[in-house]
């Protein structure tokens, strides 16, 4: 395909190439962004990831999530799933609204970049949402852009400490899986 005699590549082709060629985090961030904006679909990308050299791209495509709205969310989601936690993205909770992530059905994880959370109005709104979440039996953990930039070990440590430090409510429960519990304890010490 060309436009004014210049070659044009489809978004699906760009994402497929990124999934094969970039490092894992960057590749999945690119794919999540394109999927979230509706520039392409997992089906379109999957059709291009054929052959043995595309196996890595197919594996990475399975890790994408169109509900992730930023690289902060993508990195956090991947870090938490890496230790076996169940992570849902873009979950709407009554009285709270849409949250970035719901972990193990009770821990809300928000990734607050400065761009969208620096105004007085947004600061107040974020606190109101946290209060509503607590009233509904949820616990909110807010990670800053700096928390996420500090790396996956730091992300897991913050969330693991929340898991291990809470669990006083009958609604809240630690994972029953001993492997996940070992991972949480290890991450909390990082």
pLDDT by residue (tens digit) across 54-65?
999 999 999 999
The token duo for 23 is 């490092």
Q: Do residues 159 and 187 touch, judged by C-beta distance below 8 A?
A: yes
Do 82 and 61 belong to one domain? Answer: no
The answer on 90 and 119 residing in a single domain is: yes
Cα 34 to Cα 19: distance, rounded to the nearest angstrom: 12
Are 52 and 112 part of one and the same domain?
no
Residue 91 has pLDDT above 60, yes or no: yes
- DSSP-derived secondary structure letter, 174: -
Shared domain for 53 and 89, answered yes or no, is no
> Which of 45, 66, 87 is the C-terminal boundary of a domain?
66
| 28 and 84 housed in the same domain | no
Sorting pLDDT into bands at 50, 70 and 90, what band is 175? Answer: confident
pLDDT given at position 80: 98
Angle formed by the axes of helices 71-82 and 24-37, to 10°? 120
Domain end, chosen from 66, 87, 122, is at 66
* Percent above pLDDT 90 for the chain: 68
Q: Model confidence at 137, in pLDDT bands (50, 70, 90)?
A: confident
Q: Indicate if 62 and 72 belong to the same structural domain.
A: no
* Residue 169 banded pLDDT, cuts 50, 70, 90: low
How many independent structural domains does the chain possess?
2
Instruction: Encode burial over 75-95: b for 16+ CB neighbours within 10 A, e otherwise.
Output: bbbbbbeebebebebbbeeee
- Final residue before a domain boundary, out of 11, 40, 66: 66
Range of the domain at 43: 1-66
- pLDDT at residue 171, as a whole number: 62
| pLDDT of 50 over the 70 cut | yes
**Structure confidence at residue 127 (pLDDT):** 87
Q: How far is CA 30 from the centre of its chain?
A: 13
Do 56 and 127 share a domain, yes or no? no
- With a CB cutoff of 8 Å and minimum separation 6, the contacts of 97 are 129
Do 116 and 57 reside in the same domain of the chain? no
Which residues have C-beta within 8 Å of that of residue 63, sequence separation ≥ 6?
24, 28, 78, 81
- Please write down the long-range contacts of 125-133, taking CB distance under 8 Å and 24 or more positions apart: 129/96, 129/97, 129/99, 132/95, 132/96, 133/93, 133/96, 133/99, 133/108
pLDDT at 20 over 90: yes
Q: Tell me, yes or no, whether 14 and 97 share the same domain.
A: no
**Same domain assignment for residues 60 and 134:** no
Q: What does the block give as tokens for 107?
A: 């821990």
User: Which tokens go with 182?
Assistant: 């070992």
CATH number for position 149: 3.40.960.10
Residue 110 pLDDT greater than 80, yes or no: yes
């Amino acid at each position: 395909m060309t436009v004014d005699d210049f070659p044009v590549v489809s978004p699906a082709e760009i994402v497929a190439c990124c999934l094969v060629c970039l490092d894992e985090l960057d590749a999945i961030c690119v794919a999540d962004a394109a999927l979230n904006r509706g520039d392409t679909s997992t089906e379109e990308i999957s059709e291009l990831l054929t052959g043995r050299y595309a196996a890595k791209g197919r594996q990475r495509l399975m890790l994408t999530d169109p509900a992730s709205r930023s690289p902060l969310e993508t990195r956090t989601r991947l870090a938490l799933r890496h230790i076996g936690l169940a992570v849902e993205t873009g979950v709407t909770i009554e009285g709270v609204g849409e949250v970035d992530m719901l972990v193990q059905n009770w821990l809300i994880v928000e990734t607050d970049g400065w761009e969208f959370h620096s105004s007085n109005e947004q600061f107040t709104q974020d606190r109101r949402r946290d209060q509503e979440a607590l009233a509904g039996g949820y616990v909110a953990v807010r990670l800053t852009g700096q928390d996420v930039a500090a790396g996956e070990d730091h992300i897991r440590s913050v969330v693991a400490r929340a898991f291990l430090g809470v669990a006083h409510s009958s609604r809240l429960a630690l994972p029953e899986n001993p492997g996940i519990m070992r991972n949480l304890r290890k991450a909390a010490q990082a």
